[in-house]
Chains A and B, each alone.
Chain A
Amino acid sequence: MKLYSSLTKKYIMSLAGLFLLTFLLVHLTINLLILVDDGRSLFNTVAHFMGTNVFIQTFQWVLFGGFAIHILFGFILQIANWMARPKRYDKKAISETSFFSKFMIHTGIIILVFLGIHLADFFVKKIGGTVPEIHSGDLAGIEDMGILVLEKFKMGGYVLFYVLSLLFLGFHLDHAFQSSFQSLGLNHDKYTPFIKSLSRILAIVITLGYITIPVCIYFFK
């Protein structure tokens, strides 16, 4: 695809990635609410708001766009990279590199598969209107997303799958955040080491944050 230069593709990739990272943070914050009161009121209220607010609903399409671009460009770049070395080495390259950077396409694909299942489990059900409604109380009439989540996370196999997928998300993020700064040319002797540390912290926080939810539900709720 000669429409964009290799560098422009990387800028798009980085910007889309950083955007998706903000989504991850927002999503995590909302998800954590489920631990507050078994997800019955606060979580469902916010879920309902997110599902009905016009602004959020419009923005949802921007989010889909972000995903689509990040995934599309990820594949385009990767295919070009494979094509740049048609004949591989016999002896595997053993250069010292940042470990996770070598597997971005692999961790990315795992996350994509997870995303598909995740959407099918929650988002599609919600859109399809197959989520049970709350029958009583202040929130009567709105969809009970909380119960949906609680049910899923009581299944051991599902929790395991969820946790593993999130670990791969963590690996992806560990490289991704700091790498996007490099791709955008935002490096500095003083701040780049900080960005690199922040990248690892973010990866750990986000991963642990997400993992906490199913684990807590499975064991304590």
Chain B
Amino acid sequence: MDLKLKIWRQAAQDAPGKFVMYPIQNISSEASFLEMLDILNEQLVAKGEDPVAFDHDCREGICGMCSLFINGKPHGPDAAITTCQLHMRRFNDGDTIVIEPWRAKPFPVIKDLMVDRTAFDEIIQAGGFVSVNTGGVPDANAIPIKKRNADLAMDAASCIGCGACVAACKNASAMLFVSAKVSQFALLPQGKVEAKERVQKMVAKMDDLGFGNCTNTYACEAECPKEISVTNIARMNREFLCAKVS
């Protein structure tokens, strides 16, 4: 199929950017979206032009490195997948595809479609862990955990930290990301011990970094490639409130 790609190009973080149109021909519908960009880049390199920078790594939807806001949606038109799992069969011959980087104040553009998501790491560093050191821990089966809670914790823990929730949110809020981690630990006895401090520290960091507020629009849930539920946000709201008032 032949396509027109409208891609955001920006040389560096402080450089001005602009959209550039790239026509591309003979793309197989079996190719993945990123393979289509690889083909574009190989053509650009052959012509001596600067290839389009974009983040990607595992290409199987788990590392969370790939991003891209494609035709108005993070990770493209399909639900519950990352950009690297998106295939060209989802598009039609002659389509124009608009490709933009994640847009949020805490996610500055590094180059072209690549953004800096260090903010997520900083939020985890603020408290997204259980303070145990290596060694000297109890037997793994010492504390039974309700299957339901373990499953809910796993649901929350499957977050890949890609940032699609922030990208999709009209307020660039990181609530789904933060709440997923808070929930995972709040649901498990191992995490309960320092749950109060954790939620307060992580929320404070999230606010400091300049993410927007949650208005319960739930675009995050709709766009999350791992389908993380907004009930985690409610759980975090509850955890935070309890931590504040008790």
Contact = CB atoms under 8 A, between A and B. Distances in A.
Label chain B's interface by main secondary structure: mixed
A98 B216 CA distance: 8
Contacts of B233: 182
Nearest to B209: A84
A85 interface: yes
Interface string B40-60: 000000000000000000000
Given A7-B241, A10-B213, A98-B218, A91 B72 contact: yes
Interface residues of B, number: 49
Interface string B219-246: 1001100000011011111111110100
A77 B213 contact: yes
A4 to B, nearest CB: 9
A93 B73 contact: yes
A126 B69 CA distance: 55
Interface size, A (range): 35 or more
B100 interface: yes
Most chain B beta carbons < 10 A, residue from A90, A98, A181 = A90
Interface string A27-42: 0000000000000000
A9 B219 contact: no
A175 interface: yes
A95 B234 CA distance: 21
Interface of B: 6, 8, 19, 69, 71-74, 98, 100, 103-106, 168, 170-173, 200, 203-204, 206-207, 210-219, 222-223, 230-231, 233-242, 244
Interface of A: 2, 5-11, 77, 80-81, 83-98, 101-102, 104, 175, 179, 181-187, 192
